[in-house]
Amino acid sequence: MSNENNDSSTPTVEGKEKKKRDPIKFWTRFTVFMLVVLFCAHVLSDKYVPYTANARVEAYVVPIAAEVSGRVSKVYVTNNQVVKEGDKLIEVDSEKYQLAVRQAEVDLQQAGQASDADVASVSTAQAKVAEAEANLENSKVKGARIIKLSEQGAASVSRADDARSKIVASEAKLASAKSELVKAKSNRGAAGNDNTKVKSALTNLENAQLDLARATIVAPSDGVITNFSIDVGHYASPGAPIMTFISIKEVWIQADMRENSLAHIDNGDPVEIVLDAAPGQVFTGSIRSVGWGVSDDTNNQMGGLTTVKTTQGWLRESQHFPVVIDFEKEQAKGFLRAGGQANVIIYTGDSSVLNEVGKVWIRVISFLSHVY
Residues 183 and 133 in one domain: yes
- Of 196, 211, 226, which closes a domain? 211
- Minimum mean pLDDT range among 150-159, 249-258, 282-291, 336-345: 150-159
In a domain, 223, yes or no: yes
Please, which pLDDT band fits residue 176 given cuts at 50, 70 and 90?
A: confident
Q: Do residue 101 and residue 237 come from a single domain?
A: no
**DSSP 3-state of 326:** strand
CATH number at residue 82: 2.40.50.100
- CA 119 to chain centroid, in Å, comes to 47
User: Which helix (H) or strand (E) is 21 found in, with range?
Assistant: helix 2-48
274 near 253, Cβ under 8 Å?
no
* pLDDT mean across residues, the chain: 81
Nearest to 129 by CA among 178, 81, 84: 178
Provide DSSP, 38-101: HHHHHHHHHHHS-EEEEEEEEEEEEEEE-SS-EEEEEE---TT-EE-TT-EEEEE--HHHHHHH
Residue 264 pLDDT class (50, 70, 90 cuts): confident
pLDDT band at 74 (very low <50, low <70, confident <90, very high): very high
Is 15 within a domain? no
Residues 101 and 172 in one domain: yes
Residues 204 and 135 in one domain: yes
176 and 151 in one domain?
A: yes
**Residue 298 included in any domain:** no
| CA 28/CA 38 separation, integer angstroms | 15
90 in Cβ contact with 68 (< 8 Å) = no
Same domain, 81 and 133: no
294 domain-assigned: no
Domain count for the chain: 2
Instruction: For residue 323, name the pLDDT band (cuts at 50, 70, 90).
Output: very high
Asked whether residue 186 falls in the same domain as residue 225, the answer is no
Let me know: does 66 contact 88? Beta carbons within 8 Å: no
What span, in angstroms and rounded, lies between the C-alpha atoms of 20 and 195? 111
Q: How many CB atoms lie within 10 A of CB 272?
A: 22
87 & 224 share domain: yes
CB 285 within 8 A of CB 325: yes
| Model confidence band, residue 343 (pLDDT cutoffs 50, 70, 90) | very high
pLDDT in tens, 127-174: 777 877 787 777 777 777 777 776 677 667 777 667 778 777 877 887
Split at pLDDT 50, 70, 90, the class of 47 is confident
Q: Is 161 within the bounds of a domain? A: yes
| C-alpha span between 140 and 131 (Å, rounded) | 14
Rounded percentage of the chain residues whose pLDDT exceeds 70: 78
Average pLDDT over residues 172-179: 78
Q: What is the pLDDT of residue 1?
A: 46
The answer on pLDDT for 205 being more than 50 is yes
Report pTM.
Answer: 0.66
* Contact indicator for 55, 344 with CB cutoff of 8 Å: yes
Describe the crossing of helices 2-48 and 352-368 by its angle, rounded to 10 degrees.
80
Query: Is there a single domain that holds both residue 207 and residue 65?
Result: no
Which residue segment(s) compose the domain that 168 sits in? 96-211
